[in-house]
Structure 1
Amino acid sequence: MAVHGMIDIETLGVDPDAVVLTIGGIKFDPYSEIEPHDGLYLRCNVDEQTELGRNVDENTLAWWNKQDPKIRDEALSDDDRVTLNTVTKQINKFCVGLDSIWCQGPTFDFTILENLYRQLGTPVPWHYWQIRDSRTLFKMMPKDPRKEMQSDLHNALADCYYQAKCVQKTYKHFGVVNGR
């Protein structure tokens, strides 16, 4: 069985040095319909990041204020925030044994996470050749598979789950089989 990971982050900006609010991750086999599993959800310490010089974008903060209150409150609440040391350890542990790691557009999630790791002087737990992009994959479908599946956008773990399910659906649609 192939083991891939899906990562999603929610932030307070769009630049590489944006404050990261939450990180979601889930493991899945893109070649099967086995449910995504081993979810990871981290609520990152915002104060620690601003002390490092990471940025909060006012436009992004205004955008968050227009989101569904349940999703917004989950993302912005101060409850259960963990240190960046804990964040990197948990992501590193999550990535052990992954064949590939996906996100919804590699120039956002991976760029911001790589910037954070670099600031902390820690190597990222993936190689450039492991990175996969679900957005490009979904564009190949006759109809965007995300539209019929997901309702709770902008919860990092829920986004990962639905994106992983959509990768499975897309692989099945195109008859992609396990192989290199």
Structure 2
Amino acid sequence: MNDVMVDLETMGTGPNAAIIAIGAVEFDLAKGEVGDRFYAVVSLESSVTNGGVIDPSTVIWWLGQSDEARKAVCADAEHINVALLRFTTWLSQCAARDDLRVWGNGAGFDNVVLEEAYRRSQLTRPWHFWNNRCYRTMKGLQPDLKAVRTGTHHNALDDAMTQAKHLIAVMQHRPTAAHAGGLQSCTCPSGDGSLGWPCPVHPAHESPERNVTE
């Protein structure tokens, strides 16, 4: 599967936020299916040593979360470098780097924080920057279609699963969302024309002259 939804739990809100958990799930937009999952609890100490930043207001926010969410980021923590290397291996089993699309809520946070962690660890980011995708943007096209929560809120894996399933549902309703957003249908031959334009799955198909039906 070429699409992966990522969710991070962090101790900050900036691009250098200290990561304390990584959750991810692969999914197939065309078939509406979710596949394999990834989860890593990251040692806060290693994240800070790696250059991650702790924001006091985020720490206070965490104190107000559920016991289940807080316990999930305290068990079996591993070094940030180990978690990133495991994540790279897992992503390589989902799709080739050239084909891998990574979704975040939004792409300007989860994807960027992960990229910065890879950079500080002197590791190669396992996806191309042009394959960043924003779940937040897509769900905004269908605001009346609410996500059905899976598991514990603010558990990275549970949140990634919730977001992937919601994105699939949004895409299945996309003709309505595309009309509301002033978008027209993608006519790329590998799709059914329901993903909208600009096509979020086929980034090379963004020219209206080539892809929009009048």
Task: Normalising by structure 2, report the TM-score.
Answer: 0.75
Cα distance in 2 between the residues matched to 1:160 and 1:5: 9
Q: Which residue of 1 aligns with 2:205?
A: none
Letter in 2 for 1:89: L
Contact residue 2 and residue 27 of structure 2 kept, 8 A: yes
Query: C-alpha deviations, 1:74-111, integer Å up to 9, x for none?
Result: 12x1x311122221211112222153111110111111
Matches within 5 A, 1:27-176: 27-34=26-33, 36-75=34-73, 77=74, 79-96=75-92, 97=95, 99-146=100-147, 148-150=148-150, 152-174=152-174
Q: Which residue of 1 aligns with 2:194?
A: none
Contact residue 102 and residue 111 of structure 2 kept, 8 A: no
Cα distance in 2 between the residues matched to 1:95 and 1:168: 20
Cα distance in 2 between the residues matched to 1:132 and 1:101: 6
1:108 is paired with a residue of what secondary structure? helix
Q: Larger radius of gyration, structure 1 or 2?
A: 2
Cα distance in 1 between the residues matched to 2:83 and 2:89: 10
Query: C-alpha deviations, 1:27-67, integer Å up to 9, x for none?
Result: 11012232x12110001121122223322111000000011
Cα 1:108–1:142 change in 2 (3 A) is closer
Cα 1:57–1:142 change in 2 (3 A) is closer
Contact residue 106 and residue 135 of structure 2 kept, 8 A: yes
List gaps (5 residues or longer) in structure 1. Answer: none
Letter in 1 for 2:138: L
Task: Normalising by structure 1, report the TM-score.
Answer: 0.89
Deviation (angstroms), 1:136: 0.5
Superposition RMSD in Å: 1.9
Give the stretch that moved more between structures: 86-95 or 13-22. Answer: 86-95
2:108 is paired with a residue of what secondary structure? coil
Q: Which residue of 1 aligns with 2:196?
A: none
Contact residue 10 and residue 17 of structure 2 kept, 8 A: yes
Cα distance in 1 between the residues matched to 2:56 and 2:110: 19
Cα 1:140–1:62 change in 2 (3 A) is same
Cα 1:85–1:69 change in 2 (3 A) is same
Letter in 2 for 1:8: D
Letter in 1 for 2:55: D
Cα 1:53–1:174 change in 2 (3 A) is closer
Bigger RCO (CA 8 Å, 6+ sep)? 1
Cα distance in 2 between the residues matched to 1:87 and 1:166: 26
Contact residue 30 and residue 164 of structure 1 kept, 8 A: no
